[in-house]
Structure 1
Amino acid sequence: MPSTVKALLAVVVAAGLAIALVFVVHWVLGRLGRKSELAADLARTAHKPFLVTMTLFAIQQALRVAAGEFPGREGVLHALVICFIAAFAWLVAAFVLVLEDAALSHWRTDVPDNLKRRRLKTQVVMIRRLTVATIVVLTLGVVLMTFPGIRALGASVLASAGVVSVIAALAAQSTLGNVFAGLQLAFSDAVRVDDVVVVEGEWGRIEELTLTYVAVQIWDDRRLVLPTSYFTTKPFQNWTRSSSAVLGTAEVDVDWSTEIEPLRAELRATCEGSELWDGRVCVLQVTQATGGTVRLRALVSASDAPSLWDLRCLVRERLVNFIWAHQRDALPRYRADLASGLRPIATPPRPVPRGDSDDSRFYSGEDGEERHAAFAGPDEHVPVPANR
């Protein structure tokens, strides 16, 4: 039998056996996948790279063992070795992806309290990206080492590795800085995937975190792409670093004649009647009384930033409607003294409420003492000067 025909026959038989073996393994994993999500994910993701790897390995071994000498035998075997190395790297990367999916399937981020889950997701994604990049670099190195000429130059390459590494580090200084910054962000918990942040004056959510850049989804569906080194060198606001619950304000300017207590009652009724309020803080305070108006600040709390935004808008709307319907005289007015000699119009004294309402103080209530202790400094005793 001619060597070429023998080689083709060996290739066909080996490839057929490899394909049959791969389909048997795929069928077994499919059966196991009915009870195991890991087996099902492995059958879906690793089927093609496993098929290519086993087929190339079987063909290579068949040509080495069963086939004799034929024209171009060394070149064909060398090409098969390179293809097998690339296919095996593809298979390893597929296994890494399966392990990532298995780790993240037990720690879903679409739950209310997802702080630890988002931290794990960020770290797993960063480790997978770094692993895939390492696999690609190692694969290229192994492929290059299969060429005898490049292998002979190994000694000289190693001798000049120090100089090359210095030049490469200087040329890729910013890129390497972003890579190390990405690893620092992933394992320092400074920022995680799905964190709500304020960067460059924009409010948004961390959509993607890679080794070189961070994509922030802004509230109006724009994307702000920043290098990872930005988050290690510049200050930014992270609203969900320790918890997703946040505080927010809604301010309204009114006249000096405004009755405050009815507005406090309206604010309390608005918060208690809305599912957006988390039940922690609902306070109405006078924060400014200068010029011709009085500024009222409604401080409310919500479980997350989107709910807080809707709650602030709702509170502002209800307060405006209440003032227009019940205290229209409390709308901001500008006064001018046209005749200084006229006697002022007497107005009845405003009743003074007995005691302070809890809705008028921020550092009060169940957790008011904790908030006070968190922002208060050490006790200072100021000496009182004696009367002269």
Structure 2
Amino acid sequence: MHHEADLKAVMPEEFELESATNFAVMLAWVAGAVVAAYFVGVGLSWAAQRLGRRSDWIRDLVVLTRRPVRAMLMIVAATIALDRTSDADASWRGWVDHSLRILMIAAVTWLLANLVQVAERRMIARFGGGDTGLTDADLHRRKVRTQVTVLRRLAVAVVVLLGIAAMLMTFPSFADIGTTLFASAGVLSVVAGLAAQTSLGAVFAGLQIAFTDAIRVGDVVVIEKEWGRIEEITLTYVVVTIWDERRLILPCTYFTTTPFENWTRNATEVMGIVELDVDFTVPLDEMRTELKRILAANEHLWDERLGVLEVTSAINGYVRVWITISAPNSSALWGLRCAVREAMINWLQRRESALPRWRFEPAPTPDPRERRAVTTSRVASEGVFTGSQEAEERARAFEGDDERVPESGSRLR
């Protein structure tokens, strides 16, 4: 009796020890399989890179897909090692197998997304100018790059959504919901309803921007009274680099609903104006000669299309002059306008009479004697005696009226 009890006490300990040993062996096999799969992936990448030295396609495939391929190999190796070294009826196998299945779906999604990036690189290299810097004049290449980039983002978004859906379908509850949803005849109406929402509306606006050629990556625009350049176009927003290196982030719907200026829509050549107020005495012919000299000194900025000086106003005591100039692009125009303005100011400073001045001319002061004579004549004309009948009689007598002139020695009454 006592011997049987001792055996029962020892057997659980031996069983636990044996289980722990088997679990450690299994972990060792899984770890070894994962490490071996990783080095197999490294070898495959090295071999593919050696074979595809002269092929840009293979080089991009190796660079962009080596990590997801290694991850897939490691997951497959771990799954095979578990199947060979563990009991399929073990309590923990269910959630481990489910986790490995989800990891495999994630790795496949990662691989497909990177394959989309490979296609994008090859399309840009062939039609969009490759990795070389683009100028404002590269209208076609900037258009291709914009459209390919937007398509790549859309494809990656679709792949990621399908991957997430596949992961959710591995859960029985989500599988039933998904089967019912996709089998429903009203799925199209659901998608159309969602498209009317703000988020998907921005996505469709991004596609519209890319394929209607309203803006392209690298375009010079004026938005919200800010001069900038389109840096990035995504499915939902557009990044504009302002002249002072700030970033203006705008939703794609902004460009489909709000007017804005695009200075490089069809061409990069632009014109600008330098405005000056000068005095009426400025010699305009000499000023035009000075303008020609300034433009010739800045030939690296001026495209020689336009360089004229015109008088647009001559009121309020000064003459307003517009200098209209042209440049190959907006950056050159800004520099040329600043150079012309500064040179013209220096020229006006050398000619002090050309600077605008206000003139005041006081009224002439009459001679005091003339003023006294005018006052006397005014008094004489108005009369000294006035105000009553007797005074008027005295005035007539004073003026020498024959009827009222008294004799000598007589008194006035």
Using the size of structure 2 for normalisation, the TM-score is 0.74
Distance, in Å, in 1 between the alignment partners of 2:184 and 2:243 is: 51
* 1:48 is aligned to 2:64: no
Distance 1:167 1:16 in 2: 44
1:74 and 2:98 are equivalent in the alignment: no
Give 1:248 deviation, angstroms. Answer: 0.8
* Residue among 23, 39, 42 paired with 1:23: 42
Q: How does 1:41-190 map to 2 (within 5 A)?
A: 41-61=60-80, 63-64=82-83, 69-71=88-90, 72-106=92-126, 107=129, 108-111=132-135, 113-158=137-182, 162=186, 166=190, 169=193, 173-190=197-214
Give the Cα separation in 1 of the matches to 2:365 and 2:246: 61
CA gap of 1:34–1:338, structure 2 versus 1, over 3 A, is farther
Deviation at residue 84 of structure 1 after TM alignment: 0.3
Q: 1:167 & 1:10 partners in 2: Cα distance?
A: 47
Partner amino acid for 1:216? V
How far the C-alpha of 1:102 sits from its partner, in A, is 3.1
Structure 1, residues 199-248: CA drift from partner, whole Å, max 9, x if none?
11111111221111112111122222211111111111000111222111
Report SS of the residue matched to 1:277.
coil
Structure 1 segments of 4+ aligned residues over 6 angstroms from their partners: none
Cα displacement (A) at 1:28? 2.0
Tell me which of 306, 315, 320 is aligned to 1:295.
Answer: 320
User: Is the alpha carbon distance of 1:212 and 1:281 closer, same or farther for their aligned partners in structure 2, counting shifts above 3 Å?
Assistant: same
Contact 1:195 1:241 in 2 (8 A): yes
How many residues matched?
Answer: 341
Shift of 1:15: 3.5
Partner Cα distance (2:149, 2:229) in 1: 17
What's the offset of the Cα at 1:283? 1.3
Change (3 A) 1:331 1:215: same
Displacement of 1:94: 1.7
Q: 8 Å contact 1:323–1:330 — kept in the other structure?
A: yes
Aligned with 1:338: secondary structure?
A: coil
Structure 1 residues 159 and 318, CA gap change in structure 2 (3 angstroms): same
Specify the SS of the correspondent of 1:229: helix
**Given the alignment of the two structures, is residue 276 of structure 1 paired with residue 296 of structure 2, yes or no?**
no
Query: Corresponding residue for 1:310?
Result: 335
Is the Cα contact below 8 Å between 1:283 and 1:298 reproduced in 2? yes
SS of alignment partner, residue 104 of structure 2: helix
Cα distance per residue 1:30-84 (max 9 Å; x no partner): 3356544444443333222110012212333454578653513333222211100
1:247 aligns with 2:271: yes
Decide which of 286, 289, 314 is 1:262's aligned counterpart. Answer: 286
RMSD: 3.0
Equivalent position SS for 2:305: strand
Whether the 8 Å CA contact 1:199–1:237 is kept in 2: the answer is yes
Task: Report the counterpart of residue 339 of structure 1 in structure 2.
Answer: 363
Distance 1:339 1:34, change over 3 A: farther
The Cα of 1:4 is off from its aligned counterpart by 5.8
Output the CA distance in 2 between the equivalents of 1:221 and 1:255: 39
Q: Does the CA-based 8 Å contact 1:193-1:207 persist in structure 2? A: yes
1:72-130: CA deviation from partner (whole Å, max 9, x where unpaired): 33332222111000011111112222332333345134346321121112112211111
Cα distance in 1, alignment partners of residues 183 and 136 from structure 2: 56
Q: 1:177 to 1:30 in 2, by over 3 A?
A: same
CA contact (8 A) 1:4 1:70 kept: no
**1:225 and 2:225 correspond:** no
Q: Which moved more, 1:194-203 or 1:49-58?
A: 49-58
SS of the aligned residue for 2:218 comes to coil
Structure with more of its chain in helix, by fraction: 2
Q: For residues 74 and 170 of structure 1, what CA distance do their matches in structure 2 show?
A: 36
Per-residue deviation, 1:10: 6.1
Native 8 Å contact 2:29 2:81 kept in 1: yes
Please say if residues 190 and 241 of structure 1, whose CA atoms lie closer than 8 Å, have aligned partners that are also in contact: yes
8 Å Cα contact 1:32/1:40 also seen in 2? no
Aligned to 2:387: none
Deviations 1:151-204 (A, max 9, x none): 233454347784996599469722222111111001111011111111111111
The aligned residue for residue 367 of structure 1 is none
Alignment gaps of 5+ in structure 2: 1-17, 367-413
**CA–CA distance in structure 1, aligned partners of residues 164 and 59 of structure 2:** 31
Q: Report if the CA contact (8 A) 1:60-1:81 is conserved.
A: no
Contact 1:292 1:333 in 2 (8 A): yes
- What residue identity is the alignment partner of 1:224? L
